[in-house]
Every structure is written in C-alpha cells, then in structure tokens.
Amino acid sequence: MKLMTVRMIALLLACTLTTGAWAVPQGPERERDLLQRVERAVDGHVLPTLKDFSTKARELADRIGAFCDSGDLAAMSDVNDAFRAAVLVWGRAEHLRFGPLQGGDLSMRINFWPDPRGVIFRQMRRVLQAENPELLDPAVLAKQSVAVQGLGSLEVILLRWSSKPAAVFQAGQQNYDCHLATSIARNVAGISDEIVQAWTREGGWRSRLLKPGPKDPVYQDADEVAAQITKSMLLGVAIIRDQQVLPLFELATGERKRIKLPFQRSGLSVAYIRESVRSLRQLHEQFQLTDYARGNTAWTKDWVAHTFETLERAVGDLKLPHERSIAKTDLDEEAMRRLRFYTNGLRQVYGRALAPAAGLTIGFNELDGD
Amino acid sequence: MTLGLSALTRPVRAGGRDLTQAAFASAVRVGSGFALLILDEAGRVLREIPLEARGHDTTVHLGSGIGVMFARRPGDFAVAFEFSRPTASKVFRTPADRHFYGHGVFSNDGRLLYATENDFDNARGLIGIYDVKAGFSRIGEFPSSGVGPHDLHLLPDDKTLVVANGGIETHPDAGRAKLNVPDMQPSLAFINREDGQMLARHELGREFHKLSIRHLDVDQSGRVWFGGQWEGALDDVPELVGSASLDRPLTLLAMNPVLPARLKGYIGSVALDKSGRRLAVSAPRAGRIVYFDTAAERLIGESLIIDGCGVAPRGRDGFAISSGGGEFRAAAPGTEDVGLAVHRGMAFDNHMINVANY
C-alpha cells in the first residue's frame, strides 16, 4: 500500500466521524465476542509476555549469582546475554499497565523510565560509593527509591563492569557491586513473580478480566474489559511514539541536541523499540478489534495490519552505528518522519475509528485527561 | 480595551454572532485540530479561535473583558482574547525552560496574570507572573511550594493564591509520562501573591499520597473545594473530593464506599454553582458528573454523560456540562438534564468556564 499522508488519514477520520458510526451489533452475542477477544489477548499476549519476563528475570538473577560466585570474568558474557534477554522482554511488556501493573509502582520498580534528569545514574553513584550493606537484602532494597532497584540500576553496574572488568573481583572476592547486582536482580525477579501470581491466582486479574460483573469495582462488563485492552494498545503506541520515536525524530530535525532512549548506554535501544513494536502487533493480532471495522471504518482493517507490518520493517531497518551516542548525522530525517507518522496514525485510528466501531467508549477526556 | 500588539491568531467565526452574549469558554478538538470556543447560554458557538495545539483551561477578567486560555502540559503557549469583541487574539509563551500546566488566574484588578508552570530541569513547581498591560510579558515567578502545580485560584481577599500541587513530576523530554508516582507528595498551598510567601501548605496523610490534588473551586467564604486523581491501584481508591481553607486542613467528603472506584479514581473538573451551595465534579472515565450539597457534605445527584468532563455554573443553582462527544447540556441535581446543543465533529476538552462568573 502506498504511504498515506497524515492529511489523508485525517480526511478519512473526519469522514468516519462525521458520517456516523456503523451500527454496532448489540446484546449477548457482542458481549460474548468481546470477552472471547479479551481472553485471546490475555492468554495469547498478556500472560505469555509476563511469564516470559518472569523467566528471564529469574535467569538473570541466577546468572549474576553464578558469575559472582565463580569469580570467573569469562562468565560476564552470560550475564550480559541474560540482561539483554530480560530487557527486551520488558520492552514487550511495558504497555501492560493494568491489573497488578495499574498505578505504575511495580513497573517503575522493574524499570524506572523515562528518566530525563538522570536520577538513576546519580542515585546509583551515591549507592555504590556508600556501600550500604543493608541494600544487599532484596527485601530492604525493595523499599528504597525506585531508581536504585530495577533494570536501569543494574545497567549502571554492568556498564561499570564492562569498562573495568578487572575491578569486579578483588583478590578473588566478590565486591559490593556484585552483591548489589545480585540483590537488584533478585528484587526484579521477585516483582515479576508477584505480577504473574496476581494475574493467575484464583480470583486474580485473569479471572476478573474474563468474568467482569457488577460486584467487581474495576471491571463491571465486557465493554470495560475490552476498552481496557484497547487502552493498553493506545498506551503502548504512545510510549513508542513519545519516548522512542519522537526523540529520534527531533534529533534528526535538530529540535533536540541530545536524546535518551531506553537502555541506550547498553546498545539495546533499537532492539528495545523493535520488541515494543512486535509486541503491540501481537496484541493486535490476538485482539483483532478490526473485525468490527465496517462501512466507513472498513478501510482501517487493512490499514492497521499494513501499518504494523510497515512499522516493524521500518524499525527493523533502523541502523544506528553509534547507538550509545546518537548524532543527527546518523539519522535519516525522512525515515524518522515516517516512524512518527505510523505511530500517530495507529493511535488515531485505534482510538477514534476502531474503538467506536466496536461500540467501545474511549473518550477524548477519559483517555488522556489532565 | 484591545489587546493591541501583534495578532498571531485570527478569529475565524465571529461574523454575525453577538459576542455580548458570551457565556462560556472551552477548549475543543475539531477534527484533527484544536480551538477555543466561546459559547452563549444555549451552547451555540459565538466564536472559534484556532489553537496551535491542545488547550486546557481558561481564565477571565470580567472587568476588562479579557480571557486567557492556557496550553495543556507540556505546552508553552497561552492565547489572550477579548471574549465579547471580535478583536485579534494574542499568543504569549513561557520561557524555554518552563512550560504551562494549563491553568491560571488574574488578579482582581486585571493587571497581573498568574499561571502554574514547570521548571522541568529542576522538577520545581512555579507560579509565573505576567504583566497584562505590557502585552503579557513575564515579569517574575515564585515557587508553588510543591511539584506539579495544576489548578490555582485567587481567594476572595485578592491576596492569597491557592495552588493544587498535584505532586506529579513530568518532563517534556518524556512526553506526558509521570516520573515519580511511588514518591509523589501532593499538597494544597496558600501563597501570598504579593511576595510569593507560602502562608500554609496542607497535605493528606501518607496513605493518600497518591491522590493527586488537581482541580479547585473557591466559595465566597474562602473555602476551597478540590477534586483528586488517584494514581494507586483501582481496588484501593479513596474518597476523591474534599475541602480545606487557609486555616483548616484538608478533609475528604465521605462517599458510598464503592463510589470512588465507580468513578474510576479520577475527577476531571470541579465547579461550584453561583450560590456555592452545590458542587459538581466530573468523572469522565465513568461517564458521570456527581453533585454534592456543600453544607450537608452529601451526594445529592448525578448526571450520566459519556466522556463528560467540563462543568461550569449556569443560572442560579445549575450547571452547564460538556462532553468529548460535543454535547452541551444544562444540568442540576434532582432534575433531568436538558440537552442544549450537540456539536458534531467537536470534542469538548477537560474544562469549561462561565465567563460571567469571574
């Protein structure tokens, strides 16, 4: 499909909005259909993603523990591999801020991001200088600032190790960094287990999403849970657009001089964006809200599928030779503009055309109020 | 009084409409763009002023006939306009290292405008001071006594500003992401506008530290009513509405225990009626606007309106309410809402004000 301009999408949206929504089927059949979609989204996307993160977080904690116990610097690559694996799965999970992740505390403890003022680095520098032994207990660490207890703080330690590998072990003994890294990794693994438990236990969030009812204060009917999945999609697109694509675009156009992308210092930011996009595409494929696209929204069915495919390919083509220090000259402004266009378009189409087509109320004010 | 200075935006729909009938103002989304609407009592559009991006709240100085609409955070623009004359409007901005939070208020003499702002590189809430006669030039600032200041009002003494410090840190480089939810500390601060000195700062208890105090209205006695937005788990939502005054701490209005969660933990706008006896608060995520008797401190009714958020006093003891679906209604507790206008293709944004109520 030839690239549509923003103006074309706006025109299509305007037509969609002014000519009125297609009649949405009502009644028990629609309710059943929405709940089946939610079940597919939960069992085919939400839970596999969170379980995968829990597994990867546990492996990371084990690898760090084994590395520090061994005193063998050659095992550091195992740690870096495990860190990369955990970070990239977190890139697939960042938009799942509902259920136990609603409110943001747990997700910020797993990874305090965005961090525009460099709080992680400042606080970790103080922690590593102070060498407070109490923080080596994950239960104590869990009560400290979110900036020192997640993947971002672990990244600071791993980067120290990469720059001065000989300093990791002093006379064959683990140093404070090693103990703290183990504590942080165990803390993250513990949080990820807690999240999976909250989803899967009897009466947990899986059950609440699949069986909403008037007694549940959060989810009372099929519309509310289907709207929740849609909002998660919209949040995910907003995160990619605002925290990943826009910084690149504004660097390319000269509007910003420096940018910070997630896990950029580890050289993982492009892979992180790629995983974020893949994850949203998977959610879309499980949820398939485009099945409700009819009449004046029929065009969105192909458009969304094509846009996810194109976005994934465009992010896959993104090559940054100096990822840790990206410069304007590394970027193709037109390619960045297209990334911005795809993410803007997806958010508009999902929120303003598809959700109404499915009869879901995701209002202008409720979605992004202030 | 004209705004003079260079006109940066142009009124596009004023011809033939009697702007002396101006009654309400609200930001709207129109198609893929944004505008400020001036409406009459029946919700008819008298004037539409295009905005460069999404607007938030409006404040008015009745005596001089001037209003100002502020950009939604993290926007850096504000638009000054005359609400009863079709003169050109004027855009003014924050300095480059600040942005607006969407709300502001005039001094009673109309000479100064105070706006909530973010010194984002230092995570510091500020009140910016603008000289109206000098073309809204920024002449100073003082701390808001908290992080993430949002709504602010002037008490009837014309001296004390009350500021809702929502407690949430944001930074434009991070879009609209909330950066400090686990550690947020909202407060209601009373500040002498003449010297910037904090007169009182009220906080809720530690268990309520995730209740972001966001929107305010003030009655003639100086009692401040507020609506909050809960940033914690939806199973733990506390009461969302309360009051305080300069010398009286924050108290939350008792609600039916299930109501806060039913309101989805989110109050979008707050308005007293003209008598101050009734309070309307909107819960757009729940599609409800609920009304309280302020003396008895009890719930007295509700309106059901999908994506309803704007509330403003209308008539002696009623309200105008607006929605993201372009609806404009007259409403009052205990009576059926009266739909007055539906603006297809327009979405009313979070706040609506009654121009004559200032």
Instruction: Express each pLDDT in B47-89 by its tens digit.
Output: 999 999 999 999 999 999 999 999 999 999 999 999 988 899 9
B173 or A88, which is more confident? A88
Instruction: Express each pLDDT in B307-326 by its tens digit.
Output: 999 999 999 889 999 999 99
Closest-CA distance, B29 to chain A, in angstroms, reads 9
The pair of structure tokens assigned to B209 is: 């530290």
Instruction: Express each pLDDT in B255-300 by its tens digit.
Output: 888 899 999 999 999 999 999 999 999 999 999 999 999 999 999 9
Question: Residues of A at the B interface (Cβ-Cβ below 8 Å)?
Answer: 6, 10, 13-14, 17-18, 102-105, 108-109, 114-117, 145-146, 217-218, 238-239, 241-243, 246-247, 256, 259-260, 348, 361, 363-366, 368-370
Q: Is the ipTM of this complex over 0.85?
A: yes
B15 has a chain A CB within 8 A of its CB: no
The pair of structure tokens assigned to A209 is: 């999403």
Distance CA B322, CA B56 (A): 14
A15 or B156, which is more confident? B156
Do A100 and A205 form a contact (C-beta atoms < 8 A)? yes
- Amino acid identity of residue A110, one-letter, is I
Distance CA B121, CA B85 (A): 39
Instruction: Express each pLDDT in A137-157 by its tens digit.
Output: 999 999 999 999 999 999 999
pTM: predicted TM-score of the whole model, two decimal places: 0.92
B309 has a chain A CB within 8 A of its CB: yes
Cα–Cα separations (whole angstroms), residue B19 to B34, B39, B103, B326: 21, 9, 24, 21
pLDDT of residue A169: 76
Distance CA B106, CA B30 (A): 28
Q: For the beta carbon of residue B87, count every other beta carbon within 10 angstroms.
A: 17
Label the pairing between strands B124-131 and B112-119: antiparallel
Mean pLDDT by 10 residues, chain A (370 residues): 58 59 72 97 98 98 93 91 98 97 90 95 96 95 95 96 81 80 97 98 98 94 97 97 96 95 96 98 97 93 96 93 91 95 94 93 83
pLDDT of residue A26: 74
Q: What are phi and psi of B346, to 5 degrees?
A: -120, 145
Instruction: Express each pLDDT in B25-38 by its tens digit.
Output: 999 999 889 999 99
Give the mean pLDDT of B93-101: 98
B29 has a chain A CB within 8 A of its CB: yes
Distance CA B268, CA B282 (A): 5
B268 has a chain A CB within 8 A of its CB: yes
Cα–Cα separations (whole angstroms), residue A365 to A231, A248, B268: 13, 28, 8
Closest-CA distance, A370 to chain B, in angstroms, reads 7
Decide: helix, strand or coil at residue A331. coil
Give the H/E segment covering residue A173. strand A173-174
Residues of B in contact with A108 (CB under 8 A): 181-182
| The 3-state secondary structure of chain B, one letter per residue | CCCCCCCCECCCCCCCCCHHHCCEEEEEEECCEEEEEEECCCCCEEEEEEECCCEEEEEEECCCCEEEEEECCCCCEEEEEECCCCCCEEEEECCCCCEEEEEEEECCCCCEEEEEEEEHHHCEEEEEEEECCCCCEEEEEEECCCCCEEEEEECCCCCEEEEEECCCCCCHHHCCCCCCHHHCCCEEEEEECCCCCEEEEECCCHHHCCEEEEEEEECCCCCEEEEEEECCCHHHCCCCEEEEECCEEEEECCCCCCHHHHCCCECCEEEECCCCCEEEEEECCCCEEEEEECCCCEEEEEEECCCEEEEEEECCCEEEEEECCCEEEEECCCCCCEEEEECCCEEEEEEEEEHHHC
What is the b/e burial string over B26-47, where b = at least 16 CB atoms within 10 angstroms of the residue's CB?
bbbbbeeebbbbbbbbebebbb
Residues of A in contact with B345 (CB under 8 A): 14, 17-18
| The 3-state secondary structure of B60-87, one letter per residue | EECCCCEEEEEECCCCCEEEEEECCCCC
B10 pLDDT band, cuts 50/70/90, is very low
The pair of structure tokens assigned to A229 is: 């999945």
Cα–Cα separations (whole angstroms), residue A111 to A81, A263, B61: 18, 10, 46
Cα–Cα separations (whole angstroms), residue B34 to A346, B49, B175: 20, 9, 19
Cα–Cα separations (whole angstroms), residue A208 to A50, A100, A204: 17, 12, 6
B window 152-171, beta carbon within 8 A of A: 171
- A104 and B176 in contact by Cβ < 8 A? no
Distance CA B358, CA B350 (A): 19
The pair of structure tokens assigned to A115 is: 């961090």
Residues of B in contact with A105 (CB under 8 A): 181-182, 232
Q: For the beta carbon of residue A254, count every other beta carbon within 10 angstroms.
A: 9
Distance CA A165, CA A159 (A): 10
B16 pLDDT band, cuts 50/70/90, is low
Label the pairing between strands B90-93 and B99-106: unpaired
Report the residue of chain B nearest A247, measured CA to CA: B173
**Which among A14, A102, A365 has the least Cβ separation from residue B349?**
A365
Q: For the beta carbon of residue A13, count every other beta carbon within 10 angstroms.
A: 20
pLDDT of residue B32: 86
B window 74-93, beta carbon within 8 A of A: none
pLDDT of residue A164: 84
Do B162 and B218 form a contact (C-beta atoms < 8 A)? yes
Residues of A in contact with B349 (CB under 8 A): 364-365
pLDDT of residue B198: 98
- B32 and A364 in contact by Cβ < 8 A? no
Decide: helix, strand or coil at residue A169. strand
**Which among B121, B175, B268 has the least Cβ separation from residue A365?**
B268
